Every structure is written in structure tokens, then in C-alpha cells.
Structure 1
Amino acid sequence: MYFSHTRCVHLSVFCCTLCSLCVLCDLFSPIGGAIKPVVTFTPNWRNILYHDNVTLTCGVPSTAPEEPRTYHWYKDKRPIPGDHQRLHIIGSSVEEGRGDYQCQTIGGDISDPVFLNVTLNHVILQRPPSVIYEGDPLTLRCHHCRLYDAINTKFYKDNQEIKSSESHSTFHIPNITRSQSGRYKCTKQIHHNDITNVVELPDESFISVKELFSPPEIKVPPSRVIEGDEMTVRCDTRLDPLRGGTELHFAFYRDGRTVRGYDVSDTYRVPSSQPEDSGNYTCEVRTASDTVRKMSDGLYIQIHDYKMQNIIRLGISGFVLSATVCFIYFHNKW
């Protein structure tokens, strides 16, 4: 097929226009996809008293290009003043401070909302704003209004006292577990106008600890392993998508003895399995920081002897052949 000169000119113009549009798209599109920032608090509490100050920071992933940025801030999905990476909030009133905060950079995605609670209480139990996973450190703070003096801080879990201090107002758990989920409460003795007027005031919050990864499970495909075959043992677990960047290490055991130490691979392989490789297999998963460990249930793996398999197959074949001959013989006789 032949094209006229005019059609070639039109086609060239079309291609150039298309290329120009692609260049413009590349210029105005974010490099490497949408950049989703994260809002963090300093101090790292999701609830403050009405006279407290907090600084919000719009954190951009380190993979994003390092260049000056303009930031946009939102409260309850409405734009608020501020074009810098940090936003200072003064809890001068409950209505002005309380709400869901988000940030965004030009060409990037908007962050997930983070709730800041501003209250008028005399005593509050402060906790971090982020979701708490097993293995995370957790610090709780029994905070009081600065207009009053306070002593004798007490912390409770499910109405059982877990800490008491005359001067320290924090309670720290280095590596929290799911069994430590529950209702936490703190109390303080507040001195009002004079030392004779003392009132013990409480505040409480339910702490829910999420599962970082599921209990592991031993899997062996195929389920029947013959001597000489490659045996593949997999330690299957599911990591929470919100913590997808967590590095896990896997170890494998046979009859309680280590057959492969901790490694990032979730698979243990035996190139040519032998009967002595039979046994009760378990695997263990831990985080790289070793703050969370989980062991699987045992699975007995039998390596079937190749010679014995042939003997069994020959025996079955001989039985079938004999039964067939007998059937034909008696069928013809009758």
C-alpha cells in the first residue's frame, strides 16, 4: 500500500503532536508513581489537652526525589492555612484543634487521615496516634492540666493496677503482645487551690494490638515424597499489608533439631531426599529485630523408599494380573 505525500505530512504532524503530549505528561506526572506522605505528631500523642501544642509533620517517602516542595494541609477534608512541611497546632479550643488531619505535596497523593483529639479534661491518658502492632514499643502517658499540681500516678489494665509512681507519669512496654490488648486507665491526685483539696481523677483508653503476621504453617508440595526426589518444605505466613516492608526470617526444624537456621527465604529444600530425612518438621518465623516470634505446628513428612515402592507396585500388578487370569478362566469354564 502506498501513501500520498500529503498523508505522510499529516501522519508526521500527528506523531510529533503525540510525542509532545507524552513529554508534557512526563513533566507533570510524579516520578515513580504517586507519592503518599504520612502525617506524624510531635509529641507523638493522638490526644492533647486544650492548652497543649503539637507539631504535625508531612513525611514523604525517602524514594521520592529530593527537591523543594510545596505542601497542602487539610482538616476534616477542608484546606487549612500552611504550605510548609510542618504545621504547628495550638490547642486553644476543642473545636479548632480536634479533627482528622491530612497533607499532600504537588503531584503526589494525599495522606491517610490522622485524628487529633483535643479535650478539656483535667487528666488524660495519652497514646500514640498510629495503629499498634505486636512487637511495637508502646508508651502511655498520664497527662494533667498544667494549671494544677499532680502527684501519685497509677496505671491500670482491665482494672488491675500495673504501676504506681509518685513522680513518673509514663508507662512503657518495650515489645507489646496481642495478649496485652485491653482497657488501660490512669489516675492522678490533682491539687486544686491548696494542698488540702486533693481529687483523684481518671482517664482510660482501649488498646487493641493487631497481628503483624499470621502463625506459620508447614506446607510440602507434593504431599507424597519419594526417595531421590527433591523435597520442598515451605513456611507459609501472611504479613499485614500495612506493614508490608517488615523483613521476616525463617528457620526449619526436624524432630526438634535445626536443619536450617534463620534466613530470609521461606523455603527449605533437600535436592535428593532420603529415608533419614523423614521426621516431624516445624518452622519458626521472626522479625529481623527479633521482637516477634511464632512457631508452626508439626507436620510429619515420610520419605517413601524407592525400592519398596517398586516392590509394592510389582505386588499390586501381580495381584491384578492373577485376578484377571482367574476371572477369564472361570468365566470361560462356565
Structure 2
Amino acid sequence: MVKTSDSQKGSHNFQVPATMSVFLAIMFLSLNMGKSGGAIKPMVTFTPNWGNIIFYDNVTLTCDVPSTVPEEPRTYHWYKDKRPIPGDQQRLHIIRSSIEEGRGDYQCQTIGGDISDPVFLNVTEHLVLLQRPPSAIYEGDPLTLRCHHMKYFKAINPKFYKDDQEIKSSESDSTFHIPNITRSQSGRYKCTKQIQLRYDESIVIEDSDESFISVKELFSHPEIKITAYWVIEGDEMTVRCDIRLDPLRGGTELHFAFYRDGRTVRGYDVSDTYRVPSSQLEDSGKYTCEVRTASGTVKKMSDGLYIQIMRIHDYTVQNIIRLVISGFVLSAAVCFIYFHNKW
């Protein structure tokens, strides 16, 4: 046994045990990793916001970083096809782009932060190009398409088509806009323009370009779920509106409403759960829920689920107990007879 002297007992020097030191160190590293790594993930955006351009077009790439308080000066690093490229500012200007130098996957990063997801810039040599945004398109998004043509040429009469059906014709407007796109509007889009040759404007040729637009589902069809199939009068009833939100749009705010037999029992709210603390017989009915985005651009209704509130009297409970006991006794008797005969 090791004895402790009086002087040691009176000392105020406190020593942290080795295991505690390791634990504190791990906690410190975990907190600091949370502050630096996943907390600040930038995103590359284009200005103009087109994911495909014609060579000699100009484009500016911006490294958008989630806002922090307070704002602080940053140094940026840029990558193309996972290789470092010159540039330490928030914006990267691509002037008079060429196919070889401009086309590729672009990423950016700040010191101490995560690297962004790659965003592809496509540079082509088309006379006419149907331009579209670089990011994925979800239901409810606004979508603008542009019928673009090569510099130094004059073009007239842009036309837009969806699945070979003309949807817009104009003398000069080269854009086609959908305020709130739906999944049913996915399809093959095409645009055409008449190009006048520079050396002789009397010579006109028609050129076109097309692209398949796939509209992704923002959230799944809602489904009514109840915590228990048997709801007895007086018990709490909990009904949930279950959906799956696309992870890439995880920050989307959704609102939920609940209905019984077509009548509102709870208006739109951010909670996906409807609770009745003490359910009554009149709470029985066909329940549905509706989910919408905060802006109301996407709205979906669930199928109905009929919920019956049950009233159980004392004599009914007694009968259930008798039935359970009788079943147990009968099972025991059968087992006894079986094993007795076997022996």
C-alpha cells in the first residue's frame, strides 16, 4: 500500500488521469473537426448560369461559401479535373474559352474547409446551342432554357420544341421559361435558329441543338402512418405523414396538413405529426395528409387511411381475459396428453 503524506493531502495540485486526458483530447479534436471540415462546404456557381457554352464565350465561376459570423477574408483554391489551377480569389474568370482549356469539372476550396462538389462546364463548337442550368432540376424549380448561337454571327427566328412538338416561336426572344416545372414536363427539348452567314447575309442556314431535361422528385408521395392499429377510446392517437426528401435538397422547408373525411383537423405546420391526446369515437374516419413546400410550388396528397376508435367495456375486457386463460389451459392440456402418450 502506498501511503500519502500530510503534505501531499494538503496539496492543491490536481493531476488528470491518463484515460481522462485521452478522452478530453478526442473530444477537443472532434469539436474542432466539426467546426472546420463538414461545416463549411462551398459550391461552384456559374455566371451566366449555363452549364454549356460555345467556345469564345465568357463565363465567371464563383466559389459560394455558407455565410459565417463574423465574415472573414478567405483564400480560395481552384481545381479543374482534380488538378490545381491558378487563382486565389472567390471568382474565377474564363475569358474567350476554348474547348481544351475550358471544358471540365471545376471545384473550389477555402483554407480549413471542405472541397466543393464538382460542377461540369461543357464547351462546344456548335453554331446553335440549347443552354440549360448546370445543376440538377427538381419539381417546383423555375427553369429557363436559352437558344444560343456562336458569336460574330447573326441569328433570327428562334423556335423551341418538346418531344418534336413546337412550344414557342419568336422573331427575337431566345429564351423559354417555365416558372414551376413538374415531373411530367421531363422530355427532349430542342431549339432551332436561322443563321445568316457573315460574308453573305442572303445565305441563311438553319441549325439546331437538343437536350434531355430530367426533372427529379423533390419528395416522395406522402403516406399516412399510425403508431398503433388498435386505438381505444381515451388513448392518445398519433398520426404521421411520412415522406422521403431528396438528400441533395435536405434544407427544403416542408409544411404538413391533416384531414379527416375531407375536413381539416390541423392546418399547415412544419410538424409531420398530428396528435389527439384523448381520442373519442367521433375521431374515427378516413385520414389524409397533404405536404407542400413553403412557397407552395410543390403539393402532394396522400391516400386515405381509415382509423376506427374502439370502445371496450369492462365485460368485454373480462371476456378477453377469460378467452386468453382458456386458450392457455387448452394448450397446456394438449401438450400434456401428447407427451404422456409419447412416453
TM-score relative to the length of structure 2:
0.84
Q: Contact 1:30–1:107 (CA<8 Å) still a contact in 2? A: no
Write out the 4+ residue segments of structure 1 that deviate beyond 6 Å after TM superposition: 24-30, 318-325
Segment of structure 1 superposing worse, 198-207 or 26-35 = 26-35
Aligned to 1:331: none
SS in 1 for 2:35: coil
Q: Deviations over 1:116-135 (max 9, x none)?
A: 01111100000000111111
SS in 2 for 1:31: helix
Aligned to 1:226: 232
CA distance in 2, matches of 1:214, 1:146: 43
Letter paired with 1:51: Y
Unaligned runs of 5+ in 2: 334-343
Aligned to 1:69: 74
Q: How far has the Cα of 1:158 moved from its partner?
A: 1.1
Matched, 1:171 2:180: no
CA distance in 2, matches of 1:261, 1:278: 19
Aligned to 2:283: 277
Q: How far has the Cα of 1:184 moved from its partner?
A: 0.7
C-alpha distance 111-319 of structure 1, shift in aligned 2 (>3 A): closer
Q: Contact 1:142–1:169 (CA<8 Å) still a contact in 2? A: yes
CA distance in 2, matches of 1:255, 1:51: 62
CA distance in 2, matches of 1:280, 1:313: 27
Aligned to 1:201: 207
Q: How far has the Cα of 1:321 moved from its partner?
A: 8.8
Q: How far has the Cα of 1:312 moved from its partner?
A: 3.7
CA distance in 2, matches of 1:264, 1:2: 63
C-alpha distance 83-32 of structure 1, shift in aligned 2 (>3 A): closer
Q: How far has the Cα of 1:92 moved from its partner?
A: 3.5
Letter paired with 1:210: K
1:1-334 matches, within 5 Å, as 1=2, 31=35, 33-34=37-38, 35-63=40-68, 65-192=70-197, 193-307=199-313, 310-315=314-319
CA RMSD of aligned residues (A): 3.2
C-alpha distance 188-217 of structure 1, shift in aligned 2 (>3 A): same
CA distance in 1, matches of 2:324, 2:132: 73
C-alpha distance 113-64 of structure 1, shift in aligned 2 (>3 A): farther
SS in 2 for 1:306: coil
TM-score relative to the length of structure 1:
0.86
C-alpha distance 210-321 of structure 1, shift in aligned 2 (>3 A): closer
Unaligned runs of 5+ in 1: 329-334
Give identity over the alignment, percent.
Answer: 74
Q: Contact 2:255–2:294 (CA<8 Å) still a contact in 1? A: yes
CA distance in 2, matches of 1:322, 1:232: 34
Q: How far has the Cα of 1:314 moved from its partner?
A: 4.1
SS in 2 for 1:276: helix
- How many pairs are equivalent? 316
Q: Contact 2:36–2:112 (CA<8 Å) still a contact in 1? A: no
